[in-house]
Structures are given as C-alpha cells and as structure tokens.
Amino acid sequence: MKYKLIVLFVIFNFSFGAFSQTDYFKLGKEYYNNGDYEKAAATYSEVIKKEENLPKVYDTYLATLYQLKNYTEAEKIIKKMIKMTAPDNYTYRIDYCLFYKQEGLTDKAEKEFSSFVSEIQKNSTAVDISGAYLIKIGANVWAKQLYLQARKNFDRYAYCFQLATIYNRLGQTENMFDELLNYLSVNPGSLEEIQNTFQNELETDEQFALFETKVYERISKDPDQIIYNQLLLWLNLQRKNFGKAFTQAKAIDKRNRQAGTTILEVGNIALENKDYEAAATCYQYVADNYKESFNYSIARRLLIQTREEQIKNTFPVDKQKISGLINDYNQLLKENGRTTYTLESLRNMALLNAFYLDKRDTALIILKSLIDNPYTENRLRGKAKIDMGDIYLLNGEPWESTLLYSQVEKDFKEDPLGHEAKLRNAKLYYYKGEFALAQEQLDVLKLATTREISNDAIQMSVFITENSGLDSTTDALKDYSAIELLIFQRNYTDALTACADLLKHYPHHDLTDDVYWLEATILRKTGKPNEALEALQKISTGYAEDLLGDDALFTEAQIYEYDLKNPEKAMQLYQDFLVKYTNSVYVVEVRKRYRILRGDKI
C-alpha cells in the first residue's frame, strides 16, 4: 500500500509538471543516498517511461533495484540498455553477467561471461572498453580472464600493464613482477613507463624486497641485459639506498664506458640527501679509477665538497677543519689549474672564509677575481654575484646585496638562477619587515619553473599571510624576521636574546612554536644539543599536530643519533615517528635510519 501511494505521488507530480525532469533525477538520487530505496525506485520507474532517460539514471536505478532485490525489473532495464546501445553494448553485457551473480547464480554468471569473452576476444576495442570497466568496478578475476584470453589473439605481451595492476590487486605480486619484467626484456625503451608503474603499484617494504630479488634473479640469468641494472639503480635511488645504487652505477658505467658519469650522478643525489658516506664513496671511486678522464677533477672537487658538508653539519663546526678544507681546495687548484671544472672551488673557499672563519674581505676578493676572470662561465659568474650579495648582507650592507641580486635577476630573467636571485630580494624585504614588497616578489616566484624555488616562495608567502593578520601592526612578525636575519648573520647571542624577548612580549602567539624552532636551531649549531632538545620537546608536546611537529621529532632523533651518540634513544624516537607521522616527507629517511641502527644490512 505504501509503495502504491509513493508511485501515485510521483505520477501526479510528474504528469502535472510540479517538478522538472532534472528535479526528478536529483530527487531519485537523494532518495537513494538517504536509503529510501522504495521512493527512489518509484521515482526512477516513472522517469524511465521516457526511454531516453534510462541511460541518465541507469546506474543508480540498477543499484536501487538490487537493494530491493527486485531482480525482475533489474533484468528488464539491463536488457533494455543492451538493446539500446548495440552493437557497442559491452559494459551492459558485463552487467548482465553480474546480474546472475547478484541473484546467486554463480555458475550461470561464469558461463555467460565466458561466452561474452569468447565473442569479443579478437576485437581490441571491445577488449579495451570491457577490461577498463571490469577494473573500474573491481571485477579483477574476470578482467584477468578477459586479458589473458584476448592476449592469445594479439601479442604475447599485450595488456601487460593492465594485467600488472590486476595481479597487484589480487595479491599476486610475483605475477605482477614477471609480467612487467618480461615486457621490459623485449621493450627496453619502456623503462620509464615500467618505473612509473612500479612507483604506483609498490607500497610495502615486502613488495620492494621481493621486487629486488626478482630483478637480481633476472641479472643472474641474463647478465648482458643492462636494463635490469638500470631498473635496480632506479629502485635504490627511490629507496635512498645509495650504497646499492653505487654498485649498479658501477656496472652501468663499465658497460657503457662512461668514465664515471653515472657514478657521479649517484654521488650527487646522495649528497643532496645528506648521505655523505655514500657520496664520498662515489666520488672517491671516480677519482681513483678515472684519473685521465674529464670527470677526475670534478670528482676531486665534489669529494672535498662532501667533506665540507659533513663538517658544516657536525655541531659545533670545527674551524680548524674548515681551514683544512680551504687548503684542500687550494691544492686542487694547484694540481689542476683554474679550469671550468675547478673554478667552482673558488666559490666554496670564499663562502667558507665568510661564513665560518669571519674573513669576509678575503671572501669578497676571491669572488671578485672569479667574476672578473674571462674564463668564468656565465652561470658561475651569476652564482658568485649572489654569493657576494649574501656576504654584504652578512656585513649589514643590504643595499649592496640588493644591487647584486637585481643584476643576476636581470641577466637570468626566465632562468632558475634569476629566480634564486629574486627569492634573495624577497628575503631582504622580509628581513626588513617590508612584507608587502616581499609578497610582490613571492607572487611571481610561485609560478617559477623550478619546483624547489616555487615551493620556497609559496611557503614563505603563506607564512607571511598567516602571521600578518594576527595583530594590526605585524610587530611580532617583524621581530621574528629580524631574528632570522641575526641567525643568517651568525649573530647567535643576540638572536637568542631576541627569541626570549619575543616569547615574553607575545605569549601564546601563533609564532611561539616557530620561535622554539629558531632557538633549537641556534642551540644545536652552537654545540648545546641538550638545550636544543628542550626547545624541540616544547614543540613535540605542545604543537605536535602543527606544521613543525614532524620536523621537531625528526630533529630530536637526529640529535640523539649524531650529536649525543645515543643510538638506542634515537631508535626509539624514529619508531615513535613512524607511528605518529605516517605521511611525513621524512618517512623514507626515518625508516632507513631505524634499520641501520637496528643493524639491518642496507
């Protein structure tokens, strides 16, 4: 009786135009979403009296009928759609097979689907449409059946990527690997496509480990296939296992007679990721084995640069070791002369003198000689000008800095180097508390082609915006940016005093956790790791869910591992991190550090 009343209500309103046709589509969907399946069915049954409306409501109407177990009506609309869309009615014929499953007639469903596959298996368009639909609705077993049957009529590697996805969804990981590796063995040009597939499909450590084993098996069976070494190199770089990446790079380098080029690339990525030991291994190998190659002097310079990064990131920085680095760079220049490959060393020497030995005049003389040298490549000259600008800012001469930054900006307009100079100018405005001018620069840089510069600009812009609206005068933000300038100028004592003043004058301000972060940074750099931990723990306990929460916990673990040499405590914090911050950018590095401390072979 209730159902009849609903039908009469719908017929009355539909017939007399109380609602538009679109209103009825929305009404039916609303009833369905609310679980009012009888009302939804009554609405749709009236709507589809106009045959052209059936495709518009088919999916929801069919789902509604299944909810009501109204299989008679469900079969009717499926058959109607098969008839209306013939001959390209593949998805509706699949629905008809699934209809039998809904009724519990599994054998009949399988028989119907097998018949359907036999009919379309030689029609590549039909297979593509049907396979995509089966994957979309999660009918992976049937999708596998379809592709494997269709493959017999085409190429033995046809539908490789679709089958790889299906195998992964079915938990048949080894089959997925075999599928993709078989394809790669005959299509080495598809390496990037294969890598992208693995990037999307591999999720767990167990999958990565199994994948690595599978590739090693291929190498042992077919050692001449360099493509497998390239795949392993890619995998280990993704996993930041630079030691293993070095092994593969050596094999590739030897085969392709690259005189160490691939090994240098691995070293550069390791250095970027602060794996100094792995980077040094790469550079040392090239320096030892390719002494007659153009890569020799590059490797020598990068080897010194790696030691430089190690020394600069071991707190407090040892000035004697800094002097040793400058001597190493001088020796390199003496041995190899001032060539395109060694002139970069002058930049390193200048920056070490300025920022670590307080010899700013010496640094400026070195950079000026580099800029004036007619053999200096233009980009290196631009970098040297930016360095000079930084040193003038170090000296408290921002007007000289902005002049140099602007020169580079003009000379390298649509180039990442020009964008870097523009970012320096934006920071200058920020340091001076001229936030509107800083934002003008940052708005342009947000669209920069270099992701790193674009991200830095967005991050800085958001920071200014979020902290400009907290008080009408932006006094707190001005004090904060002034502290950042003091830190840049290595004036750590005044910076710490200013941090304490800011916290006192603006209690419970949104900048509080950022100030704690600055304090921790200064204290660690000045060789006070325990005091740095106290500042970081204020973030970890009071601001764990905020932006700096994962940075603070990660840095705590790093201090225990590297500064305090307490691996047990570091392990504990890394473990806590993996539980607490599953989506953090630090996760891969944290997992790696935890395994190394646990004693795993990485």
> What local confidence, expressed as pLDDT, does residue 3 receive?
47
Measured distance CA(273)–CA(111) in Å, rounded: 56
Helix axes 276-289, 261-272, angle to 10 degrees: 160
Measured distance CA(489)–CA(391) in Å, rounded: 9
Is the Cβ–Cβ distance between 370 and 347 less than 8 Å? Answer: yes
CB neighbours of residue 315 within 10 Å? 17
R_g of the chain, CA atoms, integer Å: 33
**Averages of pLDDT over each 10 residues, the chain, 602 residues:** 47 48 77 88 86 89 91 93 91 93 93 94 94 95 96 92 94 93 93 91 86 93 92 93 95 93 96 94 96 92 95 94 96 88 92 97 97 94 98 97 97 95 97 96 90 93 85 84 97 97 94 97 97 97 95 97 96 97 93 90 60
- Burial of 470-489, coded b for 16+ CB within 10 Å and e otherwise, reads eeeebebbbbbbbbbbbbeb
Task: Using DSSP, state whether 69 is helix, strand or coil.
Answer: coil
Q: What share of the chain is helix, strand, coil (3-state, %, to 5)?
A: 75, 0, 25
> What local confidence, expressed as pLDDT, does residue 602 receive?
56
Is the Cβ–Cβ distance between 441 and 425 less than 8 Å? Answer: yes
Chain centroid, CA 59 distance in Å:
36
> What local confidence, expressed as pLDDT, does residue 1 receive?
47
Token output for 462:
């958001």
Helix (H) or strand (E) holding 428: helix 416-431
Question: In angstroms, what CA-CA distances link 149 with 109, 143, 144, 182?
Answer: 17, 10, 8, 18
Measured distance CA(472)–CA(481) in Å, rounded: 17
Query: Does the N-terminal peptide bond of residue 316 adopt cis geometry, omega within 30 degrees of 0?
Result: yes
Reading phi first (left if > 0) and then psi (alpha if -120 to 50, else beta), residue 433 is in: left
Is the Cβ–Cβ distance between 287 and 303 less than 8 Å? Answer: yes
Backbone angles phi, psi at 511, to 5 degrees: -85, -5
